[in-house]
Amino acid sequence: MNAKDLVALSYLTTEEIYEILEMARNFKLEHRAGVKHDVLAGKTLAMIFQKPSLRTRVSFENGMYQLGGNAIYLGPDDIKLGKRETTEDIAIVLSGYVDGIMARVFEHQTILDLAKYADVPVINALCDRYHPCQILGDLLTIMEKKRQLAGLTLTFVGDGNNVAHSLINGCAKVGMNFRIACPKGYEPNEDVVQAALAIGGSVEIMHDPKEAAMGADVLYTDVWASMGQEAQAEQKKHAFASFTVDEDLLRLADSEALVMHCLPAHYDEEITYAASRSKGSAIFDQAENRMHAQKAVMALLMS
């Protein structure tokens, strides 16, 4: 893997994505077989959190432990990124202490600044524009369940948000067809769509969830209002009222379709509880696979 950082999946080659997925698959199988690793022995990851998270903290922290390394949690009040101290100074200081920086932040520019000024690898654990680690875990899950990626159709029902953007990036790189069903005015960023189309990706923007779900191999959804968008929650709840992934929508997809959600879920909003527990649900496989995909990213960038 030639990349220094993981900023977005669009920065990686198709070969690099498959290298991550193959390593992640092996890490998962070996972990279940009780195989111990020391590939990151003596290495330390700084974990910067502007936004709290169950899955991100536990998966990165335990992932470092499983690879023989150490992780330091830096919460929202620990360093006050960009407020008490500039992002540039924090990146330079941390580069002298640790071997990698993971950041879960509000603004994409913060990730770019960390990557620019840090001498150690920077991993984007979430920002307002992208969520690459989530989608690597998702691609691993789809590959496990479907035995392939290229040629499959993934339908995302929801807002054109950071998850949608990284799904567009990832699907374009591995040859999956991407559809999004969203209300008018909530489409993904046009530059993200155009970049995917420019490399031969298939991106369809639809406004009817039933049309978008027809024959899909994967039905994917996410919360309508992300953390930090609380002021828009009621407005979005109204706009997305007919965009719930439920059992009726599942019946329009392929009979073996996967149901996916990056969690946390707001049941009876973007997805019903019954749909989340349907036979095709891979929601909790996704959650587990985040850790193994991130282990692969850390091993490739930090070892």
As a whole number of angstroms, the distance between CA 29 and CA 144 comes to 12
Largest CA distance in the chain: 54
Do 196 and 169 meet the contact criterion of CB atoms below 8 Å apart?
yes
Strands 202-206 and 177-181 come out as parallel
Is 84 an annotated catalytic residue? no
Q: Which of 262, 286, 292, 294 is catalytic?
A: 262
Contacts made by residues 183-191, CB under 8 angstroms, sequence distance 24+: 183/207, 183/239, 183/240, 183/243, 185/239, 186/159, 186/160, 186/236, 186/239, 186/240, 187/160, 188/160, 188/161, 188/164, 189/129, 189/160, 189/165
Q: Which of 104, 129, 179, 292 is catalytic?
A: 104
Quote the Cα angle for 193-194-199, to 5°.
105
Is 222 an annotated catalytic residue? yes
Q: Which of 99, 290, 292, 294 is catalytic?
A: 290
Is 5 an annotated catalytic residue? no
Is 127 an annotated catalytic residue? no
Q: Which of 14, 45, 20 is closest to 294 using CA atoms? A: 20
Is 262 an annotated catalytic residue? yes
Q: Which of 55, 99, 129, 134 is catalytic?
A: 134
Q: Which of 55, 129, 131, 179 is catalytic?
A: 131
Q: Which of 245, 301, 291 is closest to 136 using CA atoms? A: 291
Q: Which of 171, 222, 292, 294 is catalytic?
A: 222
CA-only gyration radius of the chain, Å: 19
**Which residues are marked as active site?**
104, 131, 134, 222, 262, 290
